[in-house]
Amino acid sequence: MRGWTIREISLALRQGHISPSELCQRCLSLIRKTKILNAYITVTEEQAVKQAEDAEKRLQRGYVPPFNATVVQRLLDQGAILMGKTNLDEFAMGCGSTDGIFGPVRNPWGYSKQYREQLAEDCAVDDSDWVVAGGSSGGSAVAVASMSCFASLGSDTGGSTRNPAAHCGIVGFKGSYGLLSRHGLIPLVNSMDVPGILTRCVDDVSTVFGLLAGHDPKDSTTVQDPFKPFELPDEIDVRNLCVGIPKEYHAPGLSCETLEIWTKGVNLFEDGGARVVEVSLPHTQYSNVCYHVLCTTEVSSNMARFDGLEYGHRSNVESSTEALYAATRHEGFNDVVRGRILAGNYFLLKENYDDYFVKAQKVRRLIANDFLKVFESGVDVLLTPTTLSDASSYMEFIKEDNRTRSAQEDIFTQGANLAGLPAIAVPAILSRRGLPLSLQFIGRAFHDKQLLTVAKWFEQQMKFPLLQLQTPLNNCSELLKSQSSHARF
Amino acid sequence: MMALCLSVRCVKALENRTWRCLTAFRRSRQSDAGRQDGRWERVVGLEVHAQLCSKSKLFSGSQVQFLAPPNSLVSFLDASLPGTLPVLNKHCVEGAVKTALAVNCTINKRSTFDRKHYFYADLPVGYQITQHRCPIAVSGNLAYNLCVGKRHVIPKFVRIKQIQLEQDSGKSFHDDVRTQTLIDLNRSGIGLIEIVMEPDMCCGNEAEAAVRELQLILRTLGTSHGNMSEGQLRVDANISVHRPGEPYGVRTEVKNINSARFLARAIDYEIQRQIEILENGGKILNETRAFDYKSGQTIFMRDKERKQDYRFMPEPNLPPLIIYDNETLPSNVNPHQVVNIDYIREQLPELPNVKRRRLVEKYGILVEHSFTLMNEDGLVQFFESVVEQTQASPKKVIGWVINDFVALLKQNNLRVNQSPIRPTDMSEILNLLENGCITSFSAKQVLTELWKNKGKTATQVVELKELGLIKDQKKLEQMCQCVIEDHPEEVSEIQKGNWKVINKLIGQVQKASRGRTSPTLVEATLEKKLFQRCNHRNED
């Protein structure tokens, strides 16, 4: 730490690698340890602590929501204890939890015995290159994976819960659209957003889901029918089950290992007596483009409220209201968010609306119909990979931009969002590198219980290994050291 | 205080109305002659925004109230906090359906909401939720009456293109001294209906009459207070002129009009302005103009050619609005949770034009009297209950109600429901009059006395103030005798054969009795006395 320049430590503070209070405490502790040097006459500890706390509040950009989301409130009402609020990509736009104002989230598997041992065989351990957690709700996945809490909530618009769950070796569930209230969820794409549930096993998902699901008068898009909480059976029989394997999900970029575990999954179901059939979702190839148009249009609309007048960051530029808006939004949003807003506004222009937005909506309908047809043909659940491969290292990950990465990472997951279907990522096995691989199940709308039951059976068969942490994670100096290398990028 | 201001305005509007009808008629005839009749067609269309009466806002639970402290009625949704979602207020939907039915619209059983985007400081969320593609109601019409002169009423009607539900914005206050804009979000999110009329009108008077009729309908329905000065009713006028047989001209839009009278003036000014420009070889620009009531002119506000793109998009947080009728109402829903067109139709009150027709037919009163009755809130009920409780004919009652009673209201700046005189008081007075207990002169006195002394009955006032008709023949004869003796010149005139002079003597008796004598009885008595006197002289 002594070797750091002010500029470097400022960056580390802004990116959230160390909090003002933490830094302050470390300095104070050094002051105490080096008392013998007699440098200080008076140590203004009290004032320093207070200033550090104020700085912390400033970094939080001044907005603390004055109300609880329905899903949070329902947990609190049941006596759940809130441990904290977790990190993510800015406005949930990303798939690596690398593009947030509080800095990137790191995957605990990168510090696991399983991973480190494999890595040591190939090359020396390089702390600057850690493993990406997946995203956008990476902080939520890491919190659960690192055992610091039992369950967490994420948001799932194109796979943002299932993706980090897959990379962190936990269960990530997105319920049928309309079962979980979105009141209090900061919207990305309202018509696709679903609060996601992250836990370490499928039974825990069903416990949390039972507490959260059901009509919310504050969200007009939740279904009115009463929801009955359920428990999953322990003895599960898959003999009457029909599992569909969508052939279009053999996507380019699918890693051999993922394909292997997918095949293994198929065999498992066949051995268990289930009927496994190949099915076709022919419009899958248009899913990325369709998602991109619909996502950016809603983003451009939803982000309009962040004008700096009512809350949040406000620029000092005051020459006119328009100038204030422009400066505030330029300063406040990162490149990814700004890029999506620009694209979305373009698609919504009068002359473009029919060519882009309306067409994308039609494609969305076709994609949803693909799923409907498959389910109508007698298929109960679809079995697919969750991601193309295991998690990338950070260095590898940032070789591609946010948009390309999102398109790659969401390829298997966004279909369920476009069609409003329930889907769950279940950890399957560790890759040869020692990182989690996961498979996804997609179910019929409002048949969430059936989906979870199938997922639980699969979980029982796989016996996914426990995370064995090797490196103590609270070693701040190490994190800071690793920061140095990438701060130079 | 508020009530007082309101009634002053009503009264003024009433006074201005008659005056305006007259002058407008004169003015338009003059200008017709002046501009060589028929050379220009004028086209006027209106967009009316009416604030819906409801306890809470269109999509949030915050209260709706006029004149509350700034930013005191703002929910999280109204302040655009992230994560808040709109929840549609059923009462506002019912208000829109009611209004739509009253102007003969077709209700869309399925309508949808859209976001209309624009950045403005008093629009915190960056878009307005409105009904752009599929509004709640379409294709109706509004019948109204154009008053020309004092006794001429022309029935007219304007087609209504659509009615849509939408949110109101907040209010901006520009502080030019400190170059600040202050925002009040109390109005943000209040339910509005936008009523879009087809361009079926051709002058300010028509537009004014249509808006006044609409105002009356909204108040009758209770769906909007409809006060233009308080912004509960906002009217934008689209105006263009063209040569007969040619396509419509380029139109301008006039905004910021805060009274029906100014609407008429703004439109007529704008028509004249456009004609002058075109006759001088100029071009009309598609622009938005504001009305400056001080100068009576419309002034340039902004260019519409560089129109901003509102980037309309379906509102994803609101499912389509489904409205039922008796046929489509599903059996498994709670009828209180859905909006049923047939139920609302059954509950509709009597609409102004129907009521006017009924008043004219049932009571035999003049058409313009029916207008006067309708223009004062509560006056129709007052009139009808008086008629019900009195033997006097409705034609007699109407005069007492719209002249004497309304005059008292005006003098005291009160509304009908604030009047100390109740219908029972009025009918009692008229009954006393009808039964010959008091004269019509006394009746007016009784009315004034009752206004001052609340709580007394008319009969009590008559007794207390001795206003009853003098029926005692002896007393009457005495009074006549006195008058005859005090007016020898008039008596001799009469005796010379000029009988008309007897009216002067009658007047004197009335004066002496403070109007408490029946003129016919007085005349008979005087005649008798004079005759006796004459005979007496002759006998001498």
Residues in chain A within 8 Å Cβ distance of B173:
none
CA distance B124 to chain A (A): 6
Q: What is the ipTM of this complex?
A: 0.84
Return averaged pLDDT per consecutive 10 residues of chain B, 540 residues in all: 32 36 37 54 96 96 92 95 96 97 97 95 95 97 86 88 96 86 94 96 94 94 92 94 93 89 94 93 90 87 74 97 94 88 95 91 89 86 91 88 88 87 88 83 84 80 77 80 82 80 82 79 79 66
Q: Is A434 left (phi over 0), alpha (psi -120 to 50) or beta?
A: left
Contact B81 A217 (CB under 8 A): no
Contacts of B85 in chain A (CB under 8 A): 182-183, 218-221
Which site among B77, B132, B188, B311 would you substitute to test the A interface, given the most A Cβ atoms closer than 10 Å to its Cβ?
B311
Q: Residue A282 in contact with residue A248, Cβ under 8 Å?
A: yes
Which alpha helices (DSSP H) does A92-168 contain, by range? 113-122, 138-145, 162-168
Q: Which helix (H) or strand (E) holds A407?
A: helix A402-409
CB contact under 8 A, A305 and B80: yes
- Is B181 within 8 Å of chain A by CB? yes
Interface of B with A in 301-330 (CB under 8 A): 309, 311-313, 316-319
pLDDT at B331: 86
Q: Is B84 on the interface with A (CB under 8 A)?
A: yes
DSSP A107: -
Amino acid at B421: I
Residues of chain B neighbouring A348 (CB-CB closer than 8 A): 117, 309, 311-313
In this structure, what DSSP letter does residue A2 have? Answer: T
Measured between beta carbons, the chain A residues lying within 8 angstroms of B117 are 301, 304, 348
Integer Cα distance of A278 and B510 in angstroms: 112
**SS3 category, B320:** coil
Distance from CA of B180 to the nearest CA of A (A): 9
Q: Which residues of B touch A218 (CB under 8 A)?
A: 85, 87
Which of B85, B173, B178, B307 should we substitute to test contact with A (largest number of A Cβ atoms within 10 Å)? B85
A137 in Cβ contact with A92 (< 8 Å)? yes
Closest-CA distance of chain B to residue A422, Å: 19
Q: Are strands B110-111 and A423-430 parallel, antiparallel or unpaired?
A: unpaired
The closest CB to that of B124, out of A220, A300, A309, belongs to A309
Beta-carbon neighbour count of residue A342 at 10 Å? 11
Closest CA relative to residue A478, chosen from A143, A138, A145, A128: A128
Contact B119 A305 (CB under 8 A): no
The pLDDT assigned to B444 comes to 85
Strands B233-242 and B41-51, sheet pairing: antiparallel
Burial of A31 (0-12, 13-18, 19+ CB in 10 A): middle
Q: Give the pLDDT confidence score for residue A127 in this predicted structure.
A: 63
Instruction: Mark yes or no for CB contact B83/A183 under 8 Å.
Output: yes
Answer for the pair B60, B189: CB distance below 8 angstroms, yes or no: yes
CA atoms A176, A180, A181, A182: torsion sign: negative
Residue A336 is which amino acid?
A: V
CB pairs under 8 A between A and B: 94
> What are residue B201's DSSP bridge partners?
B44
Q: How far apart are CA A18 and CA A476, in angstroms?
A: 8
Which stretches of chain A score pLDDT less than 50? 1, 473-489
What is the pLDDT, as a whole number, of residue B306?
A: 63
Among B124, B181, B313, whose Cβ lies nearest the Cβ of A301? B313
Backbone angles phi, psi at A54, to 5 degrees: -60, -40
Contact B119 A301 (CB under 8 A): no
CB contact under 8 A, A301 and B87: no
The answer to whether residues A189 and A298 touch, using CB atoms and an 8 Å cutoff, is: yes
- Nearest neighbour of B117 by CB, restricted to A186, A220, A301: A301
Contact: A217, B87; criterion CB under 8 Å: yes
All residues of chain B having their beta carbon less than 8 Å from the beta carbon of residue A362 are none
Report in angstroms the alpha-carbon separations of B310 from A361, B130, B236, B307, B524. Answer: 19, 12, 19, 9, 84
For tokens 């426990």, what's the residue?
Answer: A466
Please answer yes or no on whether B80 and A310 come within 8 Å at the CB atom: yes
The 10s digit of each residue's pLDDT in A319-345 is 888 899 999 898 888 889 999 999 999
* DSSP codes, A172-199: EEEPPTTTS--TTSPPSSTTT-EEEEEE
Token readout for B494 is 């009469």
Contacts of B319 in chain A (CB under 8 A): 220-221
B317 chain-A contacts, CB cut-off 8 A:
182, 187, 190, 219-221
Mutual angle of helices A402-409 and A287-302, in 10-degree steps: 120
Chain A hits for B124, Cβ within 8 Å: 305, 307, 309-310
Closest residue in chain A to residue B128, using alpha carbons only:
A301
| Residue B136 Cα distances to A84, A440, B141, B237, angstroms | 45, 43, 15, 22
Asked if the Cβ–Cβ distance from B311 to A220 is below 8 Å, we say no
**Distance in Å, alpha carbon of A442 to nearest chain B alpha carbon:** 24
pLDDT digits (tens, 9 = 90+) for A256-279: 999 999 999 999 999 999 999 999
User: For chain A, which residues lie within 8 Å of any Cβ of chain B, measuring from their own Cβ?
Assistant: 65-67, 69, 182-187, 189-191, 217-221, 297-298, 300-301, 303-307, 309-311, 321-322, 325, 345, 348-350, 353, 357
The packing angle between helices A448-462 and A256-271, to 10°, is 100
Residue B309 to chain A, least CA–CA distance (Å): 6
Nearest CA in chain A to B314: A298
User: If we measure between CA atoms, which residue out of A142, A126, A412 comes closest to residue A252?
Assistant: A412
End-to-end CA distance of chain B: 74
* Of residues B402, B383, B378, B410, the one with CA closest to residue B394: B383
| Chain B closest-CA separation from residue A437 CA (Å) | 33
**In chain B, which residues have their Cβ closer than 8 Å to the Cβ of A300?**
311
CA distance, residue B318 to nearest chain A CA (Å)? 6
Whether B499 contacts chain A with CB within 8 A: no
Using alpha carbons, select from B186, B156, B233, B201 the residue that is nearest to residue B60: B186
Which of B79, B87, B319 has the CB atom closest to A310's CB atom? Answer: B79
A312 to chain B: nearest residue by CA?
B81
- What is the Cα–Cα distance from A348 to A356, expressed in whole angstroms? 8
Helix axes B519-539, B488-495, angle to 10 degrees: 80
